[in-house]
Amino acid sequence: MPARAYRHTHPLARQHLLTRVAAGERLMDVCAEPDMPSYGSVYAWARAEPGFEAELTAARRRGEFIRGGAFDEAKAEALLTRLRAGEPITSILRDPAMPSRRVYAYWRATQAPFAEQVYRLNQVRADARVQRGRDRWRPFDQALADAIVVRVSRGELLADILNSAAGLPSRGVVIRWRRLQPQFDQALRIAVHVARRRRAQTPAGCTPQLTQVIADEIRQGESLSSLSRRPDMPCSATLYSWVRKHPAFAAEIARACEDREDWFTDQVMMLADGPGDLKGRYRQISALKHRLSRLQYRPGARRARAER
């Protein structure tokens, strides 16, 4: 179309162009069509009219957002496959080949079939966790409890003991046994005290294996303070002294604390999209956010900022 023809069609052409750019089309592609103004003409209008320049900027931002959040069936299917395999969503979204957290949330809000599949997989995982808890319920076994006490007194970590064989109780079962059997609880406390004294006399108390156990627990929402209250862990003074004295331990704990923020975000997203009473879910979300805010002054953060 000749340039002079735009004297009368300029407002209509401008609005048509803004609509298409805001819908996700690129400005250069729209201007390349024979019935549309050229790329240079559009920028000449923008320089001459500040109002049009603002409208064009807003339309391009909207178009970039739509293009960035465009639903990709291949990526969505790959994400669902990894979810079915049991991989946490926080780990999946950290992969550069997967959508970002913002795009993932946008897909769940705008793509009903995708959101239904994600919700179904989350429900399956939640039901599996509940069933595992039910399957692990077992009555108190005195012989097994005595064996656990002996191994703890020798310096083994309670978490390693419970994961070392298939027939051993879970951590939740041991907690229930301690609550219902005061004698077992007292014996286990004594065994932990003996093991701590032995570890305190050993210079290599901060082992890579123990560091990995502590970091894994922190990634699941724990803190050094809460871990120090467990009988199979060193006391708080020991843990924080390791942060000060061992750079490798401090760096691993700092990385685990950063991953813990993703874990909290994942829990909040699951509660927000889950079933049940809305007020109850909001209370749980508020509690998680409050706990996360209290954990922002994590150990090793000052060291991490200094390294940057």
Mean pLDDT of 55-68: 75
**Confidence band of 66 (pLDDT split at 50, 70, 90):** low
Domains in the chain, number: 4
Whether pTM exceeds 0.85:
no
Clarify whether residues 241 and 302 are in a common domain: yes
Query: Is the confidence at residue 300, as pLDDT, over 60?
Result: no
Mean pLDDT of 190-197: 84
d(CA 78, CA 102): 17
Question: Between 13 and 67, whose confidence is greater?
Answer: 13
Question: Which of 178, 201, 224 marks a domain boundary?
Answer: 201
Q: Read off the CATH number of the domain in which 286 is found.
A: 1.10.10.60
**Confidence band of 31 (pLDDT split at 50, 70, 90):** confident
H or E element at residue 179? helix 171-180
Domain that residue 125 falls in? 73-135
Structure tokens at 154: 């020798």
Clarify whether residues 237 and 305 are in a common domain: yes
Rounded alpha-carbon distances, angstroms, from residue 108 to 65, 69, 132, 219: 15, 11, 28, 25
